[in-house]
Chains A and B, each alone.
Chain A
Amino acid sequence: MVVDHNDADDLTQEVFVKVWKNLSNFREDAALFTWLYRIATNESLNFLKKKRRRFMLPINDVAKELSKKIDNDPLIEGSEIERKLQKVLLTLPDRQRLVFNMKYFEDLPYKEIAKILEVTEGSLKASYHIAVKKIQQLLGDDLL
C-alpha cells in the first residue's frame, strides 16, 4: 500500500506496538488474523491520509511520487507489466486499492475482507468491480 520500504517498515513496527498495547482490548469473537489485518489496514490508510495532508498533496501527486519510486527503488522488482499494474493501482482511491489488493493479490474471500474492513460484502464487490474496470481501461482487457 505504501510502496516505500522505510514507510512499510515504520508501519509494520507501529502495528505490532499497537497490538501489544491493545492486546487487552482484543475481543475473542474476532479472529486474531482479522484483528491484526484491521489494525494494519487502518494504519496504512491513516498513514497515506497524513502524508497527503502534511505535504498538501492531491492524490495524483502522491501517485506520481510513488510511481517514480516503483521505477527507481532497488528493492522493487517484478516484470514490467507487474510494475505497470502497481503504477496504475496508485491512481485508484486508497480504499479501492486496498480492496483490490486484498481480493486480487491476497485472494481473500469477500466475507473475510468485509470483516476486516467492517463494510458490507455488497459494497466490497462494487468497489472491486469499479477498480477492475478502471485498471482494464488503463492497461487493456488482456491483463486482468
Chain B
Amino acid sequence: MEGKEKLSGNIYKVPEEYFEKLPGQIQSRLPVKPEGSSIFNLLYLKPALFASVVLGFVIYGIWPSSTPVEQLPKIAFEDISKEELKNYLLYTDISENEIIEEMGGSFNEDFFIDDDIKLSTEDIQELIDVEQIEDYL
C-alpha cells in the first residue's frame, strides 16, 4: 500500500450553515435541569422526614387531636404555600417527633414500623455512614 496515492474518505458534505446551527440543535435536546425543591428530590433527599410528615398528615386527618378544631390557631395549613412548607421542612432542624407533636399527634414508635417504610438491618447499614459514626464514638 505504500507509495500509492491515498484515496479520500471525505466525500460526505454537509448542508450550508450546518455547523452554525448544530450547537443550537444540541442545546434544544439537552434535558432541563430539575428544580432543587421538586417533590421527587424531597422524596429522595429526606425519605425519613418526608415519610414522617406524610404519616403525620394521614394521622392528623384520620384521628383528630384532643384539641377541638375551633380552638386551633387561625393560621391554618392552607394559608401556607406548599413551597414554603417544603422549604421549611427541608432546611429546619425540627425532628420528626416535633412535627408530629406540633400537628397534634403523639409520637409512637409503632407508627414507624409500617409496611411502607420498613427497613431491614442491611438497609440501615447501607444508609449509615459507619466512618462518620466512629468519629463520634
Contacts from A to B (Cβ < 8 Å): 3, 5, 8-9, 12-13, 16-17, 20-21, 75-78, 81-83, 85-86, 101, 104-106, 132, 142-144
Contacts and interface: CB of A to CB of B under 8 A. Distances in A.
Nearest to A78: B11
Contacts of A21: 31
B12 A75 contact: yes
Contacts, number: 54
Given A75-B13, A75-B14, A75-B15, A16 B8 contact: no
B58 interface: no
B-side interface mostly = loop
Interface of B: 1, 4, 6-15, 18, 22, 25-26, 29-31
A16 B26 contact: yes
B12 A76 contact: yes
23 contacts: A3-B12, A5-B12, A9-B18, A12-B22, A13-B25, A16-B26, A20-B26, A20-B30, A77-B11, A78-B8, A78-B10, A81-B7, A82-B7, A82-B11, A83-B11, A85-B9, A86-B11, A104-B9, A105-B9, A105-B10, A142-B4, A143-B7, A144-B4
